[in-house]
Amino acid sequence: DTAVSQTPKYLVTQMGNDKSIKCEQNLGHDTMYWYKQDSKKFLKIMFSYNNKELIINETVPNRFSPKSPDKAHLNLHINSLELGDSAVYFCASSSTAGTGDTEAFFGQGTRLTVV
């Protein structure tokens, strides 16, 4: 049983294309995230959704549009892909119920390569 699953694992595409990455969590968490990890392993938060509502949008270009159809899903759509978008994208989820914020559980990552 994979707790946070994202697809695809690898994505190679040409500049200018539009692509989507899907994410699903079966942990019953109320918060989901997208992170971008660059070639130097730096992890930066892009978006955070709580109960399907956008909480954090960290100065990400408008070409990136997250969509949360329900609490268990947070998809990432990217328009007009650029070379600089090449990175590993991680989906994560956490719970804010109970005593407050808790650790995030991460998916396996999607390695996006724009050529």
> Token digits for 6?
């994202």
Q: Per rule CB under 8 A, is residue 107 in the interface with other proteins?
A: yes
Closer residue to other proteins, CB minimum distance, 10 or 18: 10
Q: Per rule CB under 8 A, is residue 14 in the interface with other proteins?
A: no
Q: Per rule CB under 8 A, is residue 82 in the interface with other proteins?
A: no
CA angle 58, 34, 77 (to 5 degrees): 95
Q: Which of 7, 13, 50, 86 binds other proteins (CB under 8 A)?
A: 50
Distance CA 93, CA 89 (A): 14
Q: Per rule CB under 8 A, is residue 25 in the interface with other proteins?
A: no
Identify the helix (H) or strand (E) that includes residue 55: strand 53-57
Closer residue to other proteins, CB minimum distance, 78 or 90: 90
Question: 55: alpha, beta or left, given left = phi > 0 and alpha = psi -120 to 50?
Answer: alpha
Distance CA 71, CA 95 (A): 11
Q: Which residues bind other proteins (CB under 8 A)?
A: 4, 31, 33, 35, 38, 40-45, 48, 50, 55-56, 90, 92, 94, 96, 100-109
